[in-house]
Amino acid sequence: MKGGWNWIWKGSSIALLAYVILRGFSTPLQPGLVSATPSQLTLEEHTLTLLAVGQPFARENAQASDFELVLRSGDQLLATVLTDVQPHAATAKVRIPSTLPSRALDAFLFTPDAGTLFLGNACFVEDAAKGDIPTEFRAQAPAEAAPKLGFSFPYQPNIMESIRNLLWHVPMWFAMFFIMGLGFVASLAQLRTDSVKWDLRAEAAVRTGVIFGLLGLTTGSLWARWTWGAWWVSDPQLNGALVTVLLYSGYLILRAALGEDDRVGRLAAVYNVFAFVMLVILLMVLPRYTESLHPGKDGNPGFNSYDLDNSLRAVFYPAVIGWGALCYWMYTLRLRMNRIAYSLLSR
């Protein structure tokens, strides 16, 4: 029965990860506006073109009359006249009045199938005076249509297609937290009982956790390059993650340096307890009280509050379970190797 259960959970973890990889790369991104041309406007009529990425927000040969574009200045709306709509672009005529509540203009594109697309600070008016929009230039907000996009991932500015990395980067860190927690418990038990079986478990957990920590650093660095423009930035959570992996690498170095010393189990256990406490402080406590670029830190909204919609949840939660199960599987393999090595050396 035990062997059958092992096959079930291992097979399920493989199936979950296969589902995550397939869904993660094949699910389309919801449409989102990325740029407006020209971005600098003067007090005259302009032809404004908005470009979008992701799924098409319009069908081929769509009628411009079925869409509407308005520009928001402060709390007032500026009217435009759409002249052409393509699957990933919209062109409109807009007259800029001499007075505006704000020189920065936000764009709202109302579509029948994709809902309302938004681009903040789409344009900037160079020489408009401060004041209300004249009545003849004003627009009324049209009724919004519910999006009909099917199963798709949410669009977020800057993140865009890289939101798929959420299915890799975050679950890998969750898996590392989980397995390092097992190692922490094993080290506490080793200090209480002085039993080698707990030392073998702690070593297997840390060695496996370091692998997932390195994978988390790698995927995080790739994500930072895409969204923040650099492979590494001075962010407390990034720096804390690096220090954490280095601390646990020190655990492995300590064990290697002590060799066959009889004190290796207790010394390593004390170090492991210290390393786990530092993990909690560096990755879960300090980033919440310091400025951070990561979602959910220093007032930044977390993924769950602003773009973890039902489609993304349907893949993200299986990813957490799948990567966690894979991590535990690797831990059991390493533990088995430790037990065999100990048995051979004890003869």
Domain boundary among 137, 171, 195: 137
- Of the residues 137, 169, 189, the one at which a domain ends: 137
Please check whether residues 92 and 218 belong to one and the same domain.
no
- The pLDDT score that the predictor gives to residue 188 is 96
Identify residue 204 by its one-letter amino acid code: A
Q: Total domain count for the chain?
A: 2
Report yes or no on 146 lying in a domain: no
- Between the two ends of the chain, the Cα-to-Cα distance in Å is 31
pLDDT digits (tens, 9 = 90+) for 22-36: 999 999 999 999 999
Structural domain contains residue 193: yes
303 within domain boundaries: yes
On whether both 167 and 300 belong to a single domain, the answer is: yes
For residues 225 and 315, membership in a common domain is answered with yes
User: What pLDDT does 307 receive?
Assistant: 53
Residue 281 placed within a domain: yes
- For residue 319, is it within any domain? yes
Instruction: Assess whether 241 and 287 both reside in one domain.
Output: yes
264 and 203 within one domain: yes
Q: Identity (one letter) of the amino acid at 120?
A: G
Cis peptide before 38 (omega within 30 of 0): yes
Strands 99-100 and 129-130: parallel
pTM of the model: 0.85
- Could you tell me if 167 and 268 lie in one domain? yes
Considering the domain architecture, whether residues 221 and 306 belong to the same structural domain is answered as yes
Rounded distance, CA 334 to CA 165, Å? 27
DSSP class of 42:
-
The residues facing 78 across adjacent strands are 71, 138
* Whether residue 333 sits in one domain with residue 254: yes
Q: For position 46, what pLDDT does the model report?
A: 92
Segments in the chain below pLDDT 50 = 299-301, 305-306
At 301 the pLDDT is: 45
Domain that holds residue 167: 160-345
Phi/psi class of residue 160: alpha, beta or left (left: φ > 0; alpha: ψ in -120 to 50)? Answer: left
Residue 11 resides in a domain: no
Q: Are 106 and 204 in the same domain?
A: no
Both 103 and 175 in one domain: the answer is no
Q: Give the pLDDT of residue 306.
A: 45
Contact predicate 167/315, CB 8 Å: yes
Can you tell me the distance from the alpha carbon of 336 to that of 260, in angstroms, rounded to the nearest whole number?
19
Looking at the domain assignment, is residue 62 inside a domain?
A: yes
| Residues 184 and 86 grouped into a single domain | no
Do 205 and 112 lie in one domain? The reply is no
- Structural domain contains residue 15: no
